[in-house]
Structure 1
């Protein structure tokens, strides 16, 4: 299994594990957060919070639809310097509050790389949370395209921003 462990340069944020299985076209991402599961969950389902952390630092997000419930959907546009650079969408298949989200993830600019994603929110001791995401794509070529599209940068920078957002949410409690 191909595994990438990353650590923020400033060492302020924990590392993220990104694994590409050599036998199955999947990507598994694991990250722990120093925040309760309910806050990590909120940051994934509330659109005003999602906009503050998701994706690389150089990209903004315009949300068209954000309905994260069983049977819901989402659609958003990534922007850079006010210009549209990518369009993402998906159907929400299952939501088990504070525990799991199952959704598709599509990228209009790479239609062959639609994935089925499952996000697990694990409550850990001391008010911490481990997020595990498993993405399954149709074939290895589609997965290679996802990985080559800058996914690792977006995941790492996004989760670093999520750490910062969660710290602020905890302080506001």
Structure 2
């Protein structure tokens, strides 16, 4: 288990799964919107050293998406399909185009904790333990933690 600031990242010892959770001082609808509105998503996703450009975004059940993260003149493409989009859960595929064979199935849950607080839980199922461990070694926790910190500030400012 890794704990980075307020984001908890866990690797399941029996399955090629990464689980994350973080609590936010915002209602579930605000977090849902930040994950489905392309302009909001582009503002918070990823590490502080990168910007995100949305190429395609159709956040509905059966829709698809593609975005490009840019840093130091290098572009990194990501794409996937929204399998289910509803206010309490999003299920989607996630593919880093630099490793197109390693497709993850991701589920995000927006758990209402009451008092205007939400626990965001995510689960990413990948095809092998090797792929899962490569994700963990990639430094993904920096992008996750910095991205969620940006999202937290946006929620506090009322921007999401």
| Common topology (TM > 0.5) | yes
Task: Report the alpha carbon displacement of residue 49 of structure 1 after superposing the two structures with TM.
Answer: 0.5
Instruction: Tell me the number of residue pairs that the alignment of Structure 1 and Structure 2 aligns.
Output: 160
- Asked if the contact 2:4/2:141 (under 8 Å) is kept, the reply is no
Superposition map of 1:76-95 within 5 A: 76-81=67-72, 83-95=73-85
- Rounded Cα–Cα distance in structure 2 between residues aligned with 1:125 and 1:93: 28
**Correspondence for 2:92 among 68, 79, 103:** 103
Which structure 2 segments of 5+ residues have no match?
none
- Rounded Cα–Cα distance in structure 1 between residues aligned with 2:100 and 2:130: 12
Matched position secondary structure for 2:115: helix
- Rounded Cα–Cα distance in structure 2 between residues aligned with 1:84 and 1:46: 25
| Residue 12 of structure 1: aligned partner | none
- Rounded Cα–Cα distance in structure 2 between residues aligned with 1:31 and 1:112: 29
Is residue 65 of structure 1 aligned with residue 56 of structure 2? Answer: yes
Task: Report the alpha carbon displacement of residue 113 of structure 1 after superposing the two structures with TM.
Answer: 2.3
1:24-70 CA-to-partner distances (Å, cap 9, x unmatched) read 00000000000111111111100110111100000100110011110
TM-score, length-normalised on structure 1?
A: 0.89
- Rounded Cα–Cα distance in structure 2 between residues aligned with 1:44 and 1:150: 22
Matched position secondary structure for 1:63: strand
- Rounded Cα–Cα distance in structure 2 between residues aligned with 1:113 and 1:59: 22
- Rounded Cα–Cα distance in structure 2 between residues aligned with 1:100 and 1:44: 10
| Residue 9 of structure 2: aligned partner | 18
Structure 1 runs (4+) deviating above 6 angstroms are none
Q: What's the Cα RMSD here? A: 1.3
- Asked if the contact 1:35/1:129 (under 8 Å) is kept, the reply is yes
TM-score, length-normalised on structure 2?
A: 0.96
- Asked if the contact 1:113/1:143 (under 8 Å) is kept, the reply is no
Matched position secondary structure for 1:113: coil
Which structure 1 segments of 5+ residues have no match?
8-14
Matched position secondary structure for 1:56: coil
